[in-house]
Structure formats: structure tokens, C-alpha cells
A = this chain, B = another copy of it.
Amino acid sequence: MVQGKLNEQAKGVFIIAATPFTDEGALDLYSIDSLTDFYLGCGVHGFTLLGMMGEAHKLTAEESLTVVTRVIARAQGRQVIVGASHAGLENVRRLAHEAMVAGAAGVMVAPPQGLKGDDGVYNYYAQVFKELGPDIPVVYQDYPQTTGVYLAPSVFERLVDDFKQLVMLKHEDAPGLAKLTRVREGEKKPGRRRVSILVGNGGLYYPQEMQRGADGAMTGFAWPEMLVQVYDLFAAGKSSEAEDLFDLYLPLVRHEQQPSIGLALRKEVLFRRGAIRSPKQRVPGSSLTATDRAELDSLTARLERRLAAAGRPSRIAAE
């Protein structure tokens, strides 16, 4: 499938894809396909593979490449971003090259733990960019809750000024609304490029972030059609309607973004919606109790009632 390279104009919803396993823990190729189809059916504009949510750290190198190749082949030309973070720069380069050769649109790199100070962050990415060269588009994954590395807006600006292959910020600091606004204001400086900003944190602040200048979402919420519909409504200038729709789903957005248990919830929903054949995670992973399932039943039933009452049955359910 031909897909162009990622650039600063990237917009919309890049779903962070779960990685499906069989009940025995093997990579489930069939479910990779059905999940890709599910996401396409939800209208996503692109994919992000091998992120933290994708259990990338539990895959072998071969399995990782299998996932990437398989999704790209089935993505109907949608752009695919592949996570290439690694503690060693040689491995970042290798992962990035493998992904690009397989047809990825770009790679996403988070900083390794232990970088010190603004210069530590700048210098690490300068090394990454030199190593990868100008032809591989890169997404900066700003997720300090896990990496422990703070990205100052001024550092991001220096990187944008100095390396044109930096085309997107995956925005996931918390609190992060002020940073998003600050980056957008900094871009008004003559000569500075405006980069794409997609937001994470499970979408918890999605409407606020769109108002502040985000270009869409990159997260793994298990009702991706909401992410798409909210994006479309914002694109159509209907921000109030967008937020109304978002708020209908907010109880589940909040529920899924719980650390650690969140992935179990998302895989369970994807399983219930028929997108994958098993909700299993590879160990060590979280799992759901009977209480957790009943709670999810209740939240889901509430969502469906509210969607129906609002005249907004989910696109999927309607099929």
C-alpha cells in the first residue's frame, strides 16, 4: 500500500493499536487483521504501532516486524507511525529503518530515562536525528509520567528549528494544556514551522486540546469512532457539538485511562466488540475480575442508553 511520509500537516485520529494475542499468548495474526479492519471501520486516519499500549516490549524483534508489516498491508493506505524508542541509539536506528522499509510513514521516539536538563534532552534528540538522517519523519513522544523526562517548550522549539525531520509532537504531559498553548504561540515566531500535535492521555482532555490547537488524537480508546466524530465536528467548526458528544463517552474515557488496568479494559471492549478474538495480554499484564467486568457492563450499558437518547448510536453498533 502506498502511503506518503508523515509531515507537519498530519491531522485526525491515529489510533494506537492494541496487539492481539491468542489465549495461549501467541501473536494472533487473524486478529491483527480484524482489528485493523475494525479501526478502519471507525474511520481512523492513521495508525500508531508498537507504543506502550501495544505491548511492544513483550514482542520479539521478529514479532514486532510482523505486526508492522501486517497492519501496513491492510491499512488501505492510511499512514502508519511505528514506535522506535530504545535505550541504545543503534537499536533506534535499526528499528526505524526496518519500519520505514516496511512502509511506515514515520517513527515515534520517546526519550530514555535519565536524561538531565534541557541540554540533555536536546542533545539526545540531536543524536537521534543525525543518526536517522533527514529522510525519516520523527514524532517526539512527550510522556514524562513514564519516562521521567520533562520537555521544555523552548527545547522543543530548538529541535523544530534545527531538524526538519521533526514533524509531530505526541502531546501527553500532565498537566499539559498550558504546554500545548505555549507551543502553538511559539510557532507564531516568523520562520518557525508549525508542526502537527496529536494528543494522548487516553483522550481525557481531547476537546480542550482541540480548542487549544491540537490537530487530532493519538490514543487507544476502545470506541475510536468517538475520537473520529469529535475530530470531524471540530473540523466542521461545531466545537460545542463535539464536546457534547465527547462528554457522552467521558465516563468510559476516564475509566479506560486508569494506569495499569486500562489496557485490560480496552482489550476487553475490543473483544466484546468483535475486533479481536481474545482479550489476553502477555504476562506480566493486568486482568479483570468479575467485579471489573460487571462494572464495565454497567458503564457500557449506560453509554449505549445515552447514545441512543442523544440520537447518536455508535457507527459500529449501527452496522
Contacts and interface: CB of A to CB of B under 8 A. Distances in A.
The number of times this chain is found in the oligomer is 4
Interface in A242-300: 243, 247, 250-251, 254-255, 258-262, 282-284, 289, 291-292, 295
A282 B292 CA distance: 41
A245 to B, nearest CB: 12
A89 B284 contact: yes
A247 B243 contact: no
Interface in A203-233: 204-205, 208, 211-212
Contact of A88 (B86, B88, B282): B282
A60 B61 contact: yes
A55 B88 CA distance: 8
Interface in A53-90: 55, 57-61, 86-90
A118 B150 CA distance: 10
A155 interface: yes
B284 A127 contact: yes
Name the prevailing secondary structure of the A interface residues.
Answer: helix
Interface residues of A, number: 58
Interface in A101-122: 112, 114, 116-120
Contacts of A152: 116-119
A91 B58 contact: yes
Contact of A91 (B60, B120, B247, B251): B60
A181 interface: yes
A30 interface: no
A11 interface: no
A57 B181 contact: no
A14 to B, nearest CB: 23
A174 B295 CA distance: 17
Contacts of A41: none
A306 to B, nearest CB: 8
A291 B212 contact: yes
A147 to B, nearest CB: 12
B58 A90 contact: yes
A117 B150 contact: yes
Contact of A58 (B88, B124, B205): B88
A178 interface: yes
Given A118-B119, A181-B291, 8 more contacts: A55-B88, A58-B90, A88-B282, A116-B150, A181-B289, A205-B258, A250-B250, A254-B254
In order of increasing CB-CB distance, the 8 nearest A-B pairs are A58-B88, A117-B152, A57-B87, A118-B118, A175-B258, A89-B283, A116-B150, A175-B261
11 contacts: A55-B88, A59-B88, A60-B90, A88-B282, A88-B283, A88-B284, A177-B295, A178-B291, A204-B254, A205-B255, A247-B251
